[in-house]
Chains A and B, each alone.
Chain A
Amino acid sequence: MAAAIRGSVRRFPASPGPDGYGSEVLKADGPPQELLGTVFADGDPEVLRATYEAWGGLVLAYCRRSLADQHDAEEVTQQVFLEAWRGRATYDSSKGALPTWLMGIARNRVIDFRRQQHRRPTPVEAPADTSSSAEPELERVADRLLVADALRDLPEQRREVLRLAFFDDLTHTDIALRLELPLGTVKSHMRRGLASLRNRLGEEAR
């Protein structure tokens, strides 16, 4: 039986390449990344791995922008995930999205890291301490990255509705005509799409 199937593999070599996975389908149906938050506190290390794979790049990008040094950024990212894991019992998925929580930890670690840097003996022309003045900027970078991540997670049609509303200044009526969708569908996409993005924003912005 198995041999017969192997035969068919030989006849039709079938290893789906990178393009074999339709992005629209994957994105629309989506793997259950959103579910990670609901089990994060349970303590399965595989959940930490999946969390790193889902948002490690996001945290690292944030640290990289905030610290300007790849090595430092990786060190802080490591701290963030270890701290998140140790503190997993304090994460409450009903209070906020997991990536937003991670970015909150990252922000604190970045600030600590900068302060430590400034305590070290530094060359005469060391830059002034920017840690406090840069905090609003840290917030802004985090929000941008988080919302960009949420935008990529939106179903295609919902994102298209938002794009027309954001950039083409179309009203919901215009959008319904343009996309040939019922008005109620467009309004629902706008409300739910914006709610998904808002859900990722840090607490201060909410």
Chain B
Amino acid sequence: VLTSPRSMPEATPAPRENRAPAPARWARGARWAGEIAAAVGAVTVSTGVAWILFGHQSLPDVAMAFLLGVVAVAVRRSLGAALLAAVLSVLSYDFFFIPPYLSFTVDDGRHVVTFVVMFVVAALISTLTQRIRRQASDAEVREQRTARLYAMTRELSSARGFDALRAIAIRHVGELCEGEAAILVPGPPGGADARGIDVPLAGAGGRIGVLRVVPGVRGRFDDLEQRATLETFAAQIAGALERARAADEAEEARLEAETERLRSALLSSVSHDLRTPLAVITGAATTLLTGAGAVDAAAQRDLLSAICDESSRLTRLVTNLLDMTRLTAGSLAVHKEWESIEAVAGAALGRVEERLAGRPIHASLPPDLPLVPFDAVLVEQVLINLLENAAKYTPAGSAIDIRAAATPDEVSVEVADRGPGVPAAERERIFDKFYRVPGARTGGAGLGLAICRGIVEAHGGRIRVADREGGGAVFCFTLPIEGAPPAVEEDGAPT
């Protein structure tokens, strides 16, 4: 499964040795000195204790004091230090407590057996203690890896989209190996010059790509267990990426189906909403051109204004259809800039001025409203659609109000009318494409509000409709304020 270790590059950085050789050697020397000092210290203490016991207790009890010292070193220090302590203990025992005293010579040959047994026992204790310690630290490393694996799995399960998952996996594996990781998938080549350990990412439905790891520490992942860890990570990543890819494909299919639905709805809409104005325009224009019937000056004006009205209706319809197509196709690019709600609301009101003629319009926009990041052209369209909607569905002459308010996180904009309101059951559906409230008197393609929702959601905001106190409907949308608005320095005092 793994490529051979020769794929480990010679150039893999081993920072501790390459980057700072002098301090590293110094540190190593200091470590050895510490080990030796610990062994000597422990044996000195053991000798002291043995000296106190000597004379009160039998000789084997004195030997026990030395064993205790060796165990103490083995628990805290390296195997080398423990073995050194064992050797020193035997020497000290011989020197101080075996006659002739203060000499390494031995009169009684039986004591040599004691020395050997004492050394073997000490060495055995040291080795066993070391093994227990290593197992404990291995368990800790394993536990850490399991925790890492769990953390990655949890993060992978909460994220959406192939690229997001890929980024998460790369970050976690990079932390695991304290180096760099990459996930190579079939497609345009990129970063192929980085060499390292390659682990295939095999999903249930075939190979997804390769996990490439360049560890920051030489020798990482050399042993089988560490490789197994890496493979466990790879398996998790492969599974997550495979699910993400399936989800992406499903989304694509859904989008395609949606586009198809839009296309067929467009066709049925064409027959209805495009033909009526075209019929009026053609009829009126031919009447004027041929002079058919007795067309007096007043009738001529009527026919001409009918042509104008129906043309602007066509314009609105085509605009909406184009906007909707762009929204559905996902090709809508949102150019966010720090903009003024007041300026855009003013522009929208100017744009629908004729349609709102004869209605009292109250705009209450606080003067301290902050700049908000949004696409001015798109948000103007949202306001135009909401205002036209209000004009279309509320009695002529009734008031329309625009309000805006800001919190530190978002700005909310309201368009409120005094019309019949929207029944509770319809409040979600009116934002759907091609949906029209049953029995609504005026014709339209049912696109205006769907476009509003598309644009607002593309900004990361929300849109909804509610009852208005005292009658009517309130359409409210929010736009998030991400980050602090850029600073604007004030100039001098007015003169």
Do A and B interact with each other, yes or no? no
Chain B residues with a Cβ under 8 A of chain A: none
Chain A residues with a Cβ under 8 A of chain B: none
